[in-house]
Amino acid sequence: MIQKQGQVVAVNGNMVSVRFDGDVAMNEVAYIHSNEKRLKSEVIRIRGDEAQVQVYEMTKGLRIGDSVEFSGEMLSVELGPGLLGQIYDGLQNPLPEIAEKKGFFLESGVYLQALSKTQKWAFTPAAKVGDALKRGDSLGSVPERHFLHQIMLPFDFYGSWKLVEIAAAGDYAIDDTIAVVEDSRGNRKNVSMTFSWPVKRAIDCYAERLKPAQPMVTKTRIIDTFFPVAKGGTYCIPGPFGAGKTVLQQVTSRYADVDIVIIAACGERAGEVVETLKEFPEITDPRTGRSLIERTIIICNTSSMPVASREASVYTAVTLAEYYRQMGLDVLLLADSTSRWAQAMREMSGRLEEIPGEEAFPAYLESVIAAFYERAGIVRLADGRKGSVTIGGTVSPAGGNFEEPVTQATLKVVGAFHGLSRERSDARKYPAIHPLDSWSKYPGIMPADVVRYAHAFLERSAEVGAMMKVVGEEGTSLDDYVLYLKGEFLDAVYLQQNSFDPVDASVSPGRQKAMFRIALEILGAALQLKDKDDARSWFYEVRQAFLDLNGSAEGSDLYASSLAKIKAALAERKPEYDAEARRALARLE
């Protein structure tokens, strides 16, 4: 495509109007030349011979008449080996390299290669000359960290191709040609180990999209047991400030049972990302025995970085996730916070003087949010393997009130809702996921009917608790009071989890089942308790033993003694079980 030129005719914040000749495409990338810098921008509206672009940088210093170069390409990311372990900004600029070149500050107009051009990768061919190929088919692989990184026919090679040449096994840089393919008309194209893909288009080279049915284990009890997330599913974590959204995502990013985690720090604090990027290299991933950073990609566009690239950052992140999904891997994308992304859209919509919707968000907010979460999914690839992208986004509702446009639009499309409550975080009940408001549509690691059985205790306990606020303890019957204590007990020993305790921080599904069963033995039992004081002190005693159990490694002395304590305390009160309780317990054998 011939490069188009234009000229700046108006500047308003980070929105710039450009007059051009010829043709310009929507969402095309344009560079504004100003003060010896090249500022990246994206076309977001075209009217006659004027295009409006959102600039991914501060626009201070721009002048009327500055020249603009249209690239002909949509905003894209570079795909290829070497993405894992990287720390990028929202436009895929590697932040460590920028730091090395430019020092402390993120000056505008500095764009660096996302992938090393010189690093060599050990390529092993898999496809054979003569093979018929479609986009996304594997040509061979290179080892990248813990994985075999598939070198695929680029996703924009539409139609059928025939392999005419393939490189022998050996070391290659990403730009080296490793294959030549030919289409039905005899046109040949070279293929290297890298290609680019526009971030706002979902990667769609798969045979079939499947229903998310297999749990994505987070090792957080309240999630895996009560509000599970499926591989290829979506979930959101709304909550007021300080309720624990970021900590919950940090914990998940460490322990989630997936191959790759992509962290999109979108418009939040830089300090929080620093914790991740300094700590992850030091933490060993128990799945692989290698450092956690090796399975992680961080997309970091924090709150004081330019707003337009904040908008782009979630798309950059999801595109990288889809790329690794194409290799048959399970990828988890954690976006913190999607509200900041929505606000970036709102700022731009305001500058475009679009008719505003609720709280000045653009009218298309809902459809854009829906389209983003739709990029999650579990797919069957052409060769039969499965890969998944799971998306979890935090939401930061204004005033902590979930009745606001971003939360509401998100709730319409996600499969699980982990609502954090101020009340619980104030009481230091972490993770502060509200057990009565939250929900999930996915199957989890426990039989659904048993989970419902346990959940009913939480509901009834809350009812009694509310009633007791009015009539006092005196006015509550012993039976009701025990019900109340049972709910509080389940909350304290199972829903709450200490993220900073080495044992309690991550609990395997097997251990969750064992603990859940013990909790059910207590919940389901009719117990001999004399009066309220007796009931309270008995539950406190069992609770203490259970908490000790939670904090002790399987096989340790404390584990055994705490377990014995619980069993003994239970036996002392001659527990009896009704049919429903017996059925629930039997289901967990």
How is residue 179 annotated by DSSP?
A: E
User: Binding to ligand ATP by residue 242, rule CB under 6 A?
Assistant: yes
Sorted by sequence, the CB contacts under 8 Å of residue 72 that are 6+ apart come out as: 1, 3, 4, 25, 28
Which of Mg ion, ligand ATP, another protein, none does residue 472 bind (CB under 5 to 8 Å by kind)?
Answer: another protein
Strands 296-301 and 87-88, bridge-based pairing: parallel
From the CB of 273, what's the least distance to ligand ATP, in Å? 12
Q: Which stretch binds another protein (CB under 8 A): 100-108, 197-205, 550-558, 579-587?
A: 100-108
Contact with another protein (CB under 8 A): which of 72, 85, 198, 242?
A: 242
Q: Which stretch binds ligand ATP (CB under 6 A): 63-71, 129-137, 206-214, 244-252?
A: 244-252
Give the three-state DSSP class for 391: strand
User: Binding to ligand ATP by residue 223, rule CB under 6 A?
Assistant: no
Which residues in 383-412 contact ligand ATP (CB under 6 A)?
Answer: 396
User: Binding to another protein by residue 270, rule CB under 8 A?
Assistant: yes
Distance between CA atoms of residues 259 and 295, nearest Å: 7
Give the residue carrying structure tokens 């920028």.
98
User: Binding to another protein by residue 420, rule CB under 8 A?
Assistant: no
Query: With respect to ligand ATP, which residue has the nearer C-beta, 92 or 246?
Result: 246
CB 125 within 8 A of CB 346: no
Sorted by sequence, the CB contacts under 8 Å of residue 50 that are 6+ apart come out as: 9, 17, 18, 19, 20
Site string for another protein, 194-233 (x = CB under 8 A): ----------------------------------------
From the CB of 300, what's the least distance to ligand ATP, in Å? 15
Please work out, in degrees rounded to the nearest 5, the angle formed at the alpha carbon of residue 506 by the alpha carbons of 374 and 445.
55
Give the three-state DSSP class for 170: strand
Contact with another protein (CB under 8 A): which of 48, 159, 186, 271?
A: 271
Which residues in 473-502 contact ligand ATP (CB under 6 A)?
Answer: 499
From the CB of 16, what's the least distance to ligand ATP, in Å? 31
Q: Which stretch binds ligand ATP (CB under 6 A): 93-101, 140-148, 245-253, 351-359?
A: 245-253
CB 496 within 8 A of CB 429: yes
Which of another protein, Mg ion, ligand ATP, none does residue 508 bind (CB under 5 to 8 Å by kind)?
Answer: none
Query: With respect to ligand ATP, which residue has the nearer C-beta, 109 or 551?
Result: 551
| Strand ordering across the sheet containing 147-152 | 147-152, 138-144, 121-125, 170-172
Give the three-state DSSP class for 252: helix
User: Binding to another protein by residue 267, rule CB under 8 A?
Assistant: yes
Distance between CA atoms of residues 220 and 495, nearest Å: 9
Query: With respect to another protein, which residue has the nearer C-beta, 11 or 525?
Result: 11
Sorted by sequence, the CB contacts under 8 Å of residue 534 that are 6+ apart come out as: none
Contact with another protein (CB under 8 A): which of 260, 305, 409, 527?
A: 305
Query: With respect to Mg ion, which residue has the nearer C-beta, 337 or 390?
Result: 337
Q: Sign of the C-alpha dihedral, residues 569, 573, 579, 580?
A: negative
* Nearest residue to Mg ion, by Cβ distance, number only: 246
Task: Point out which residues pair with 32 in neighbouring strands.
Answer: 39, 68
Site string for another protein, 461-500 (x = CB under 8 A): -----------x---------------------------x
HSE-up of 399 (CA within 13 Å, CB side)? Answer: 6
Which of Mg ion, ligand ATP, another protein, none does residue 118 bind (CB under 5 to 8 Å by kind)?
Answer: none
Contact with ligand ATP (CB under 6 A): which of 233, 431, 435, 444?
A: 431
Distance between CA atoms of residues 187 and 72, nearest Å: 23
Distance between CA atoms of residues 316 and 309, nearest Å: 10
Contact with ligand ATP (CB under 6 A): which of 161, 430, 489, 516?
A: 430
User: Binding to ligand ATP by residue 247, rule CB under 6 A?
Assistant: yes
Query: With respect to another protein, which residue has the nearer C-beta, 398 or 570?
Result: 398
Other CB atoms within 10 Å distance of the CB of residue 410: 28
How is residue 215 annotated by DSSP?
A: B
Give the residue carrying structure tokens 């070497």.
82
Other CB atoms within 10 Å distance of the CB of residue 388: 25
Tell me: cis bond preceding 337? Omega within 30 of 0 counts.
yes
Which of another protein, ligand ATP, Mg ion, none does residue 300 bind (CB under 5 to 8 Å by kind)?
Answer: another protein
The amino acid sitting at 481 is: Y
Which of Mg ion, ligand ATP, another protein, none does residue 431 bind (CB under 5 to 8 Å by kind)?
Answer: ligand ATP
User: Binding to ligand ATP by residue 243, rule CB under 6 A?
Assistant: yes
Query: With respect to another protein, which residue has the nearer C-beta, 166 or 307?
Result: 307
Binding residues vs Mg ion (CB under 5 A): 245-246
Which of another protein, Mg ion, ligand ATP, none does residue 175 bind (CB under 5 to 8 Å by kind)?
Answer: none
From the CB of 392, what's the least distance to another protein, in Å? 19
Task: Point out which residues pair with 161 in neighbouring strands.
Answer: 133, 183
Sorted by sequence, the CB contacts under 8 Å of residue 232 that are 6+ apart come out as: 210, 212, 376, 377, 378, 379, 388, 389, 390
552-557 contacts, C-beta under 8 A, 24 or more apart: 552/503, 553/503, 554/511
From the CB of 540, what's the least distance to another protein, in Å? 11
Give the three-state DSSP class for 10: strand
Q: Which stretch binds ligand ATP (CB under 6 A): 133-141, 180-188, 240-248, 552-560?
A: 240-248
Which of Mg ion, ligand ATP, another protein, none does residue 47 bind (CB under 5 to 8 Å by kind)?
Answer: none
From the CB of 53, what's the least distance to ligand ATP, in Å? 31
Give the three-state DSSP class for 201: coil
Which residues sit at the interface with another protein, rule CB under 8 A?
9-12, 17, 58-65, 87, 95-96, 98-99, 102-108, 240-242, 267, 269-271, 273-275, 277-278, 300, 302-305, 307, 340, 343, 346-347, 350, 356, 359-361, 396, 398-401, 426, 472, 500
Which residues sit at the interface with ligand ATP, rule CB under 6 A?
239, 241-247, 268, 396, 430-431, 499
